[in-house]
Structure 1
Amino acid sequence: MRKSVILSVVLHTLAGFAALLWLLWYFMPVSNVFKSLATLMLAMLAGWLVWKNYRYRVQQTNGSDAFIELPLLDTQGPVVLVCGDALETIFQGQPLRKTAQGWWLHAGEVGELTDMVRSIQVQQPRQIGQLSVMYVCLADQHQDEAVLRSALKTLRQQIKQLSALTGFTLPVVVSCEFSGPQTPWVIVRGNKPVVCPANESPQALIDWQQTQENLATLPLLSQAFGFIRETLLDELDKADRLIPPVRAFAVALRLGATNTDPAPQSVWSNWLFRRTCLQFPCVVSANDPASRFPDAILPLLAPFAAPVQGGQRTRRVVFLMWLCALAALGFSALNNRNLIREVGADLQRWSAIPMNHYAPKAQSLVALKQDALELERWHRQGEPMRYSLGYYPGQRLWLALQQAIDTYVPPPAPKPKPVPKIVRLDSMSLFDSGKAALKDGSTKVLVNALVGIKAKPGWLIVVSGHTDNTGGVQLNQTLSLRRAEAVRNWMRDTGDVPESCFAVQGYGDSRPIDSNETPDGRSHNRRVEISLVPQADACRIPGEKPASPDVRDVSTQEMEK
């Protein structure tokens, strides 16, 4: 087996495998797991096809009795496979006959046509497109019309098998020779019979019959045409449920010596006698072997004969590639439709959310920005293959997204929560050393310092007392608490503020704001602090609603002394 044959199989398999992978990985909207499994299965299938074809070729070359060793068919013209009657006599023992316009190849019996073509397909696959078939019928050699029709039915079966093997129908030529006055070959293609005398230009039958000698053979030629039409062509054109009819490409016939011993009471002699009562002796003569071939058929076959690369296998791969291309177009349209749906769903969700719903609007904005960024990246780097092939709507979608993003109004910034100011009162300006009773003259200090501290519903007035570290811890804690209570009592009694508006705390020396190592530091640590703290159930003033704990406008005043 030639290496080019198995190389052709591998190349065709790889081409089909690559086309399927291209469709699978770039266009089909399936998961990567499915793509990986499908790739593995396709690789196994490709390997199996190559191995199967290789084994088949090896068996055909080495182990099959039907394999035929053929000469190299290096012609560019038609190669006619000749089968039928008396081929050994026609070919003079040679396997083929070469002419400038084409070759005649000895194909043997009608039932051997498929084996012959299969051998050509294995050894010389390019010549498959140049093949045609010619069936030779010597009517004087047949005694039984049923046997003749059986051979024609076998020809129909072989043509059907050849069509399945090559992928196209080979042209079929019917060639017949009859006993009678000798005539040149008459070629019938369609409804125009042409006479082809040896070494002369072909001429129309109506012109050829103008001479008296040729005119005398016209009735006999008419009967020969009738025999071919009603016996041979009728059997080839017969409708059959299993075997399709065969339309003859052309018909070639001639009258004259048959170069073989005629059979007594042949189908032709019986046909002719029943219709004309004529009988012609069949004289066996040795004609020129070249005259036994209707060479005028070869120019008619030339337009239908051309070398092909790979034959049916190439056509199947090309057909598979076309299917993959069409499927890629369909999947690309489907992928772009899904892209439009996804972006459209995000845009619809954005439009459905009111502008004052800030949290869901912000989430929808994130989705729109992600879509826009992806489309921008594809615009710079090129859209993915699955969206290409002329359907990609990225620019229009990006513009729609940008228009929606530009309409976003951010929520108003929250007002900063003011830090409540603490009013600090120097204990020595209010109390005598170690005492918790307000001194005379402290009222003015309290009034000036606490002008911003007003009772408000939902706010708690916290009064906390502090001392330095002079003295015991317990004594300082008690002193600080009593001083805070003294200030609270003054505020309550002076401003007529309910008891529920106050909270009193004594911290002693636990929260210094300065060093206790110096007199100035200890002076700073001896203090009473007053501040407002939000509390929902604080300071219930009759006739006023409680303020929310989230109220931000705390009015405080800081005074240090």
Structure 2
Amino acid sequence: MPRILWHWLFPPMVLTLGLLLIWRSLALTTLSAALLSLPWLLLMLVLWQHGLRRANTSTDRTIDVILLGGPAASDLMQGHASREGLHQRWLWLADAEQLASWHAEHYRVCGLLLVVNADQPLSAATDPALSAWQRAWQHAQQQLGHPLPAALLVIAAYPAQAGSLQPSNPAIPPATDYPAAQQAITRQGRAMEAESWHSNIENRQQALQNSIALQWLQQHTAEQFLPILLPQQSARGSPALHAIGWMCAGDLTGDSPWQQAANQASHLRLHSLRPANPPQALPLPEALVASFPARLSCPPSLQRLAWLFTTVALFFTAFATSSAWNNHLLIQQSEARLRAFQMLKPTQEPLRGHAAQTLQAWQEHLNSIATNGIPLRLDIGLYQGHALASISNEALRRYQPPAPKREVVRLDSTALFDSGKAVLKPQAKLALQSVLIWLQANPGKRVLIDGHTDNTGNAASNLQLSQARAEAVRSWLVTATTFPITHFAVQGLGDTQPLDSNDDATGRSKNRRVEITLIEPPGNTR
């Protein structure tokens, strides 16, 4: 995907996903969602503009570079700020501070090459300069956030073809301290000396001089340069030296410390011989940087694809987490309503009935969610409403609501009839008037009229008297209303259902009564 198209499509996608998360997934109020959406919108606009500016001013190409530093880097670069190698571009940094703060977009740093000159006399100024490069190297590694491999190149004047004296394999085990580097140089020197003596050089005197030069250059490097670049004891995160090499840069002068030490030890005059060809521009030491560990790189198109998948995965995780939390709250609410219903005993009416109504309303809410479509805040395959509705339905199925209480009016027989009689008194109409209004207010219900007596006298006579009194009341009600006679049912119960004891006058007075009850007709439910 082209960079400009990526920056046109990716931010709106992220913006849309974020707004969906805020408004459709998170359990927020409208005000909270609006307050959260505003900064999200502003942030996406800022990132969008920044991405478009970068897309218009940059390319997708990433260039591998080798950074060159050190007191003698200019000798290798021949005054050029950069040189093109076989696989990398070589960039010269003239000052150690440039290395410490170096950063360039679309450049991938493969490593650092520090160049020193073995022929320059050691002075008070040389040591601080190399120490500054060592500090800049360590700081640059911290700035990059990953290891910055380095190699050391020692340039020395020597009567041979320019670029010679390079070891065939300059790589050493990564050394983060001076003792490890010194041991690596010792092993490297032995290998180079053996190669020099077994080479096809016809002039054995030249082979001897090469061996001596290598020996003293290595000793000079180990004594003068390595103690400055590497600490005596490595620490966590210390930069590592991966290669050490030497390179011929011209004729000997006989004035450098390593030359004088070599002449005194070997009793030879190294500068007496002249190179077969005059030294030309120094070649880039490709063999040194070949020892740097390869860095895994990803093409920009794959990086953008990784960004896309990562973003989608993060938003999916956010949606799934929000859905899981909302379903957790849904389960808690269902459990609270179910527990409130199940904790009440059948005797705790009407509280148990109210709890059943609440549970029924919650079950209808869960069923409506399943019918109308599961919202995003509960979806992502985590919705638990079906199982919760089944549990609530099972609890309600087992619930038996209490039978409705009958509506009963009791009338004192003394106010309606004379003793032992079944004919209504004239003033009985006043007592029955309220009953008449009550019946007319409930025309859909049937009427049951029960006659009751005390236990005075014969039980059979009392049963007939109670039946006659109930029929008398029915007759008056049929006449006073428009209800047919079949709307009323009568029964005489005599003294079989007393309300109180018949041992005293007060109890017997309560037992002499007429009860009028409203009942639901068959097939009618409330």
Query: TM-score surpassing 0.5?
Result: yes
Q: Matched residue of 1:169: which SS?
A: coil
Q: Give matches, 1:127-526, under 5 Å.
A: 128=107, 130-140=108-118, 141=120, 143=123, 144-161=126-143, 163=144, 168-169=145-146, 171-179=148-156, 182-185=164-167, 186-190=170-174, 208-211=192-195, 212=197, 213=207, 216=212, 217-218=214-215, 220-221=217-218, 223-225=220-222, 227-234=224-231, 246-248=238-240, 250-254=242-246, 256-258=247-249, 287=279, 289=281, 291-295=283-287, 297-298=289-290, 300-308=292-300, 328=319, 330-379=321-370, 383-388=374-379, 391-415=382-406, 451=422, 453=424, 460=431
User: How far did 1:348 drift?
Assistant: 0.6
Offset, 1:412: 1.6
Following superposition, the deviation at residue 246 of structure 1 comes to 4.3
The root-mean-square deviation of aligned C-alpha atoms, in Å, is 5.6
- The 8 Å contact of residues 83 and 106 in structure 1, kept in 2 or not, is answered as yes
SS at match of 1:552: strand
Matched residues in 2 for 1:372 and 1:231: separation? 79
State the distance in 1 between where 2:116 and 2:372 align.
74
**Deviations 1:452-503 (CA, angstroms, capped at 9, x unpaired):** 649999x93679xxxxxxxxxxxxxxxxxxxxxxxxxxxxxxx9xxxxxxxx
Residue 497 of structure 2 corresponds to none
Output the amino acid matched with 2:39.
M
Distance 1:147 1:545, change over 3 A: farther
How far 1:22 sits from its partner (Å)? 4.8
Residue pair 1:189, 1:250 contacting (<8 A) in 2 also: yes
Instruction: For residue 48 of structure 1, report the CA deviation from its aligned partner.
Output: 3.7
8 Å Cα contact 1:175/1:251 also seen in 2: yes
| Distance in 1 of aligned mates of 2:383 and 2:357 | 23
Tell which structure's C-alpha radius of gyration is larger: 1
The answer on whether the counterparts of 2:68 and 2:115 sit within 8 Å (CA) in structure 1 is no
- Aligned pair partner of 1:43 in 22, 37, 41: 41
Structure 1: any 5+ residue segments left out of the alignment? 62-69, 194-202, 421-445, 464-494, 496-510, 515-540, 555-561
Query: What amino acid does structure 1 have at the position aligned with 2:66?
Result: V
C-alpha displacement of 1:177:
1.4
2:345 and 2:352 in contact (8 A); partners too: yes
Query: Aligned pairs, how many?
Result: 411
CA contact (8 A) 2:102 2:140 kept: no
C-alpha distance 373-406 of structure 1, shift in aligned 2 (>3 A): same
TM-score normalised by length of structure 2: 0.58
The answer to whether the Cα contact below 8 Å between 1:82 and 1:107 also exists between their aligned partners in 2 is: yes
Return the match for 2:516 from 528, 552, 558: 552
Aligned to 1:65: none
Give a deviation string over 1:258-301, Cα, whole Å, max 9, x none: 359999778x7899999999997799996565733234524744
Q: Secondary structure of 1:408's match?
A: coil
- Deviation sequence 1:373-410 (CA, Å, 0-9, x none): 34334445664333445654334323321211111213
User: CA contact under 8 A between 1:149 and 1:231: conserved in structure 2?
Assistant: yes
Q: Which amino acid aligns with 2:113?
A: Y
Q: 2:67 aligns with which of 81, 89, 93?
A: 81
| CA distance in 1: counterparts of 2:345 and 2:265, whole angstroms | 101
CA distance in 1, matches of 2:316, 2:516: 69
What is the identity, as a one-letter code, of the residue corresponding to 1:35?
A
Structure 2 CA distance for aligned equivalents of residues 85 and 113 of structure 1? 13
Question: What TM-score comes out, normalization by structure 1 length?
Answer: 0.55
Of 313-322 and 152-161, more deviation after overlay is shown by: 313-322
CA displacement 1:326-347 (0-9 Å, x = unmatched):
5555544433322221110000
Q: Which amino acid aligns with 2:516?
A: R
Alignment of 1:59-74 (within 5 A): none
